Amino acid sequence: MAGALEGVHIIDLSNVVSGPMAVQMLADQGADVIKVEQPKTGDISRMSGQERGGITAMFAVLNRNKRSIALNLSEAEGREILFDLVRDADVIVQNYRPGTMDRMGIGYAVLCKINPDLIFASISGFGDDGPYANRRVYDPVIQGVTGFAACQAAPHGGEPELIRNIVCDKATALTAAQAITAALFARERGASGQYIEIAMVDSGLAFLWPDGMWNHTLTGEGIRPMPALSEAYRITRTTDGYVTYFCVSDSEWQGMCRAIEKPELGTDPRFVTILDRIGRLAEIGEILDEAVSQWSTNDICARLDAEEVPYARVNALDEVHNDPQIRHRGSITEVVHSKAGTMRMPKPPARFGETPSEIRFEAPTLGQHTDEILLELGRSSDQIGNYHATGVVD
């Protein structure tokens, strides 16, 4: 069966994570994607993570199900090739700094005249205008501005900390993928092509806000205070590892008290209601840390499971792929790349009953499909040879 987006044609001009990940999700869902890369160097993620056979881990995951053309867009002939690609495209995705594509002569104002039905998704760090618009941006910068780093601080005066993965880039990718499919749906209902502006700062704020900013949402008087949700998040050491748990309801709290063999805490007047416990999170945390640390990971997990307390053992990175639930669902698959060999990567997470997503083919080498794509555009072998000789393509 075909994927949900079969027949949708996407030109991916983006680099690193935010754009490539968004397009990878759409490619997994069946879209036909041509990735346009700079000759010689290509996407910077080609240098990120483990490498074998010229393919890196990050690039392989974020650029599966795509074809690559290495195209020099600073050359007039290179831009003409891009224009030909755009004529039959449904979507173009780019994450250059604002104004870059306009200066190159390939901005939205130019491309929408070539293809009025084109959906042009423009991803940037701080948006198209404003005092920060022209800054160079990577994920930690957005974490600092939006409050992610502040949320990671230890309660009551701890230093801000970064989340040690590219959370804002990935939140932006999710935002972009959803926005693109919404624009495609609107076009099916009669709307025209359109420009979509997606800023990492906006995506990061929206992703963080419901929980991370729940003490900064209401304004004015008469507000009941609430500790930050992060104060309830804990990892606790066992005799041989770590577990995490999260008790919200009264029944979960009672179960936790039985699991650690301290049922008296369940009737302790300090901790009877949710609001009582919220006001004493630090005190409760110390009690639970001391109690849980007396058991092995397997033993405390069995006890928590029996009492229906939400919990998990904390997997080391090299244990994740062998977690029983992850193995049961087949969430991680092994693929064999023709250059990089065997590798693990997550399967598409959304599971469609009628239009399944799948990993159809491997991430490409730089310019792997250049000649193939040019032939599809009607270029002759002589023209293609001349493009290579003059550096228009690689």
What pLDDT was estimated at residue 83?
98
What pLDDT was estimated at residue 324?
97
- In DSSP terms, 124 is beta-bridged to 199
Note the pLDDT tens digit of each residue in 134-189: 999 999 999 999 999 999 998 877 899 999 999 999 999 999 999 999 999 999 99
* CA–CA separation, 22 and 65 (whole Å): 12
Helix pair 297-306, 250-259: axis angle to 10 deg:
140
- In DSSP terms, 78 is beta-bridged to none
CATH class of 9-210+328-390: alpha beta
Across the beta sheet with 67-70, the strand order is 67-70, 32-37, 9-12, 91-94, 119-124, 195-199
Note the pLDDT tens digit of each residue in 324-345: 999 999 999 999 999 999 999 9
* CA–CA separation, 329 and 139 (whole Å): 31
- In DSSP terms, 196 is beta-bridged to 121
Q: Of 200, 206, 195, which Cα lies nearest the Cα of 126?
A: 200
Helix pair 167-188, 18-28: axis angle to 10 deg:
50
Q: Does residue 1 carry a pLDDT above 80?
A: no
Two domains, one topology: 9-210+328-390 and 242-313: no
Note the pLDDT tens digit of each residue in 177-227: 999 999 999 999 999 999 999 999 999 999 999 999 999 999 999 998 889
- Using a pLDDT cut of 70, give the percent of the chain over it: 100
**Domain ranges within the chain, ordered by starting residue:** 9-210+328-390, 242-313
Helix pair 139-146, 167-188: axis angle to 10 deg:
90
Q: Is 90 helix (H, G, I), strand (E, B) or coil?
A: coil
> 242-313 adopts what CATH topology?
formyl-coa transferase, domain 3 (3.30.1540)
